[in-house]
Amino acid sequence: MELELRHLRTVCRLADTGSVSKAAATLGVSQPSLTAQLRRIENAIGGALFERGVHGVVATALGRHVLTRARAMLADMDELIGSSRRYTSGSGPLRLGSVRTVMFGDWLSRVEEALPAREISTQVDPSCAVLTDLLAADVLDIVLLGRCDEAHAPPCPQGVREQTMVFPEPFAVVLPADHRLAAADEVSLADLADDVWISPPAGKEDGDLAYLRDACEQAGFVPDFRYANLDTTEIEQLIGAGRGVSLCAPTVRDLPRTVVKPLTGRPLLWRRALRYRSDTVDQQTVDAVHQAFVTTYRETISTNAAPRPWWSARPEAHPAVIDPGLPMSS
- Residue 243 pLDDT greater than 90, yes or no: yes
Predicted local confidence at residue 203, as pLDDT: 66
Predicted local confidence at residue 249, as pLDDT: 93
Which secondary structure element, helix H or strand E, spans residue 147, and what is its range? strand 142-147
C-beta neighbour count of 264 within 10 angstroms? 15
Predicted local confidence at residue 260, as pLDDT: 96
Apex 67 CA angle, 63 and 73, nearest 5: 145
Indicate the length of the chain as a whole number.
330
Predicted local confidence at residue 330, as pLDDT: 35
Residue 278 or 25, more confident = 278
Its pTM stands at 0.73
- Residue 321 pLDDT greater than 80, yes or no: yes
Predicted local confidence at residue 233, as pLDDT: 84
Mean pLDDT of 3-8: 87
Q: How far apart are CA 123 and CA 61, in angstroms?
A: 37
- Residue 129 pLDDT greater than 50, yes or no: yes
pLDDT band at 322, cuts 50/70/90? Answer: very high
Mean pLDDT of 217-238: 88
pLDDT band at 141, cuts 50/70/90? Answer: very high
- Residue 168 pLDDT greater than 50, yes or no: yes
- Residue 61 pLDDT greater than 90, yes or no: yes
Q: What percent of the chain has pLDDT over 90?
A: 59
Mean pLDDT of 199-216: 83
Question: In DSSP terms, which residues pair with 176 in a beta bridge?
Answer: 258
Torsion, Cα 131 137 139 140, to 10 degrees, reads 50
Domains of the chain: 5-86 (1.10.10.10), 90-169+270-321 (3.40.190.10), 170-268 (3.40.190.10)
CB 282 within 8 A of CB 209: no
pLDDT band at 202, cuts 50/70/90? Answer: low
Using CA atoms, how far residue 65 sits from 38, 45, 61, 122, 242, in Å, is 16, 11, 6, 36, 56
Mean pLDDT of 289-298: 98
Mean pLDDT of 276-301: 95
Predicted local confidence at residue 167, as pLDDT: 96
Residue 78 or 280, more confident = 280
DSSP per-residue letters across 172-200: EEEEETTSTTTT-S-B-GGGGTTSEEEPP
The closest alpha carbon to 290, from 278, 276, 301, belongs to: 276
Predicted local confidence at residue 181, as pLDDT: 97
Predicted local confidence at residue 93, as pLDDT: 87
Using CA atoms, how far residue 223 sits from 137, 250, 295, in Å, is 35, 22, 36
Average pLDDT across the chain, whole number: 89
Mean pLDDT of 231-243: 89
Mean pLDDT of 308-322: 93
Angular region, 133: left φ>0, alpha ψ -120 to 50, beta rest: alpha
Predicted local confidence at residue 329, as pLDDT: 43
Q: What are phi and psi of 65, to 5 degrees?
A: -65, -45
Predicted local confidence at residue 200, as pLDDT: 74
pLDDT tens-digit map of 81-110: 656 655 554 557 899 999 989 999 999 999
Angle, to 10 degrees, between the axis of helix 5-17 and the axis of helix 61-84? 120
